[in-house]
Amino acid sequence: MNLFNDLLNWLNDLFLPPAKSTLAHQTDALFWFVHLSSFVLTIGLIAVIVYFIIKYRRQSEDEVTPLITHNNQLEVTWSVIPLILVIVVFGWGYKVFVNQQVVPDDAYEVNVTAQKWLWRFEYENGATSTGQLHVPEDRPVKLVMSSNDVIHSFFVPAFRIKQDVVPGRYTEMWFNAPDPGEAQVFCTEYCGTGHSDMMATVVVHEQGEFEDWLAENSGGGSKPDDLSPAEWGEQLTQQNACRTCHSIDGSKMTGPSWKGIFGHEATLSDGSTVTVDENYIRESILEPEAKIVEGYQAGLMPTYQGQLNDKQINAIIEYIKTLK
């Protein structure tokens, strides 16, 4: 058994992302069992074919192949061995599947909301975070997920878990990360322009540190003491995935660049002009469809109504002012 584990660890390091959840080890063990037994069978089969080709090749002109109708022993053997393998894989797979599906009763619950193109997390005490899922180490965490717009999918390769996130209904998933650290989250259902940037990080806190983080963030959206308003604004634009569509270096992306826009005039799609000031930016964040800049497509930007509070919007405006 130890040898099997050593072999597993070696193969994991070589081919798979590091396994960072309790379920990951179960999934990997089954994964490698299926692959290694298939590998051994394939090699064995090819070896037998090659041996037969050479041994039973036609060696003289008048050679006649004898008539063989069947061989009971052989046929039973090659039916029973695969049958046993299939039963083992089914039973093993069923056990791992049930472990994945049945959420432990004491799981800590986090609400997950997906929207183009970001992940938001809401905790039991009202704290929220965007782009970072904070969880305690060595405790089951249940994710209750839904989408504000299209179908997304929450995928954490290091945890070996993946689940669609669908508008209009809730889907669930759970994991237990035994060690502190970080794991990458991807959206794995194509959801539009920003799909490949729709990422987040799972931050696994040490025992006790998670409670500290929760307490610090229970206010839900007030400025961290060590940041200036503009610095906080910059952080918010990253957490809320604004920069997926808005560059800060003047290059044209899905939305207008922010470089040097504050205080300047923008031409709208109906030909009128507007001065980019606090009111215009605020309106664009809350009602993105109200004014569309010439040369850009309507209907792409989601509203941040109910997602960003006034203080956060002010901080983002302060940040945009600094982009000269």
> How many residues bind ligand CUA, per CB under 6 A?
8
Q: Is 198 in the site for ligand CUA (CB under 6 A)?
A: yes
Beta strand 199-205 with 132-136 is parallel
Query: Which is nearer to ligand CUA, 185 or 281 (by Cβ)?
Result: 185
Q: Is 162 in the site for ligand CUA (CB under 6 A)?
A: no
Q: Is 245 in the site for ligand CUA (CB under 6 A)?
A: no
Query: Which window, 136-144, 183-191, 207-215, 230-238, contacts ligand CUA (CB under 6 A)?
Result: 183-191
Q: Is 189 in the site for ligand CUA (CB under 6 A)?
A: yes
| CB neighbour class for 106 (10 Å; exposed up to 12, middle 13-18, buried from 19) | exposed
Per-residue binding letters, 87-126, with ligand CUA (x by CB under 6 A): ------------------------------x---------
Q: Is 241 in the site for ligand CUA (CB under 6 A)?
A: no
Q: Is 152 in the site for ligand CUA (CB under 6 A)?
A: yes
Q: Is 195 in the site for ligand CUA (CB under 6 A)?
A: yes
**Tokens standing for residue 107:** 């799981």
Query: Which is nearer to ligand CUA, 196 or 275 (by Cβ)?
Result: 196
CB of 181 to ligand CUA, least distance (A): 24
Residue among 156, 160, 153 nearest 191 (CA): 153
Q: Is 187 in the site for ligand CUA (CB under 6 A)?
A: yes
Query: Which is nearer to ligand CUA, 198 or 320 (by Cβ)?
Result: 198
Query: Which is nearer to ligand CUA, 12 or 130 (by Cβ)?
Result: 130
Which residues form the interface with ligand CUA (CB under 6 A)?
117, 152, 187, 189-191, 195, 198
